[in-house]
Amino acid sequence: MSDQTSGNARQEPRIRVSNNGPYQVSGGAQLTTRTPVLDQHGDAVAWTEGPVHKSSATYVLCRCGQSRNKPFCDGSHQKVGFDGTCTADRAPSAARRKVYAGVGIVMTDDESLCAGYAFCDPHGSVWREIADTADPAVRKRVERQIADCPSGRLQYAKSANEPPVEISYPPTVATIPNGALWVLGGVPVETADGFTYEVRNRQLLCRCGASENKPFCDGSHRRVKFQAP
């Protein structure tokens, strides 16, 4: 089967962070919505997925938080003088990860990627639970909590010699209501100066414009009371 479409080679999904402007998504990554599910105690315990909004080859998403057509860009970044300078560490995540060894599981933590979605907090927090992973039920629960961490701050492997366990996702960009853009499926993120961040299966991009770890989310949408579907 040919990889040619209308005479052009098929592009792999990619996100380009424009200079003080929007995210330019290419290669056909689907656009959907994912919403955290809270239990009776208000703890985040799961995700629900909404319908696919767009699966076209390219689309442009707001990064300044001011568009009146969210999640899409309407040019507001130019009107507000948006400073979208990318400040995130460009080193691989492994250089920052702390290691927590349990029984049958090794958890790693890159705190710089935290966005505060708190799937790690129930049951006393994964950092405490890791000591009890000789219990298969606790170990399975910790694995689920880590897998639900949208930013990829937390990862786990079965042993120190094995690669991280990750759920397989199609290339996807998901809006989290009143929050970040959740990028799934190993979509590369490239800055305006041509640098490509380490490709990760789970990552959160800022769309409120206030993160101090751009282009990644640091939870500032809560501080600025960002509102968007």
- The DSSP output letter for 13 is P
Q: What number is the average pLDDT over the span 108-130?
A: 97
Please write the tens of the pLDDT for every residue from 155-203. Answer: 999 999 999 999 999 999 999 999 999 999 999 999 999 999 999 999 9
Q: State the pTM of this model.
A: 0.93
What is the distance between the alpha carbons of residues 135 and 229, in angstroms, rounded to a whole number? 40
Which pLDDT belongs to residue 53?
A: 78
| Phi, psi of 224, deg, nearest 5 | -90, 0
Q: Which amino acid is at 63?
A: R
What is the distance between the alpha carbons of residues 17 and 215, in angstroms, rounded to a whole number? 8
Mean per-residue pLDDT of the chain: 94
Three-state DSSP at 33 gives strand
Closest CA relative to residue 61, chosen from 181, 191, 189, 227: 181
Say if residues 125 and 119 touch (Cβ distance below 8 Å).
no
Beta pairing class for 172-175 and 30-38: parallel
Please give the share of the chain, as a percent, with pLDDT higher than 70.
95
H or E segment and range at residue 78: helix 76-80
Please write the tens of the pLDDT for every residue from 36-85. Answer: 999 999 999 999 999 887 667 899 999 999 999 999 999 999 999 999 99
Residue 1 has pLDDT above 60, yes or no: no
Say if residues 208 and 175 touch (Cβ distance below 8 Å).
no
Which pLDDT belongs to residue 54?
A: 64
Beta pairing class for 189-190 and 14-17: parallel
H or E segment and range at residue 143: helix 136-147
